[in-house]
Amino acid sequence: MAFNTLNEKADFHSRQVIGAAMDVHRILGPGLLESAYEECLCRELSLRSIPYIRQVVLPLEYKGIHIDCAYRIDILVDDCLILEIKATTRIKPVHEAQLLTYLRLKRVWLGLLINFNVPVLKDGLRRLVNG
């Protein structure tokens, strides 16, 4: 599929990822560890031929020096969409701030914060935009 902009590509992938996450949540339900949801979501992305990379190291540049702070993006989809996976009682402002920081540092426009520890997944989804 051809896209006119990276934003269109990210938006397309976000819809695909949300569908994949809903399937994972429908099968597993809430109550598991974040790592289990990440693994299963990656399996679902693979089955749908959605390109992604897991646990992407995100360095920090400060006044001309490279600082390896051990920040890691849970899942980077097609170099245009960041997924931050959670399994918590509720999404907190710090989780949104974390994803916004990743978007800014990676210079990516769109991110999805997905909290699987909810009865209905749509209540655990946040779509965040850089800028």
Query: What is the pTM assigned to this prediction?
Result: 0.91
Find tokens 């190291």 and name the residue: 57
Domain locations along the chain:
6-129
Position 3 scores a pLDDT of 79
Position 61 scores a pLDDT of 83
Spatial distance between the Cα atoms of 82 and 93, rounded to a whole number of angstroms: 17
Q: Running along the chain, 131 residues long, what does each successive block of 10 average in pLDDT?
A: 85 96 97 97 97 92 83 95 96 96 94 97 96 82
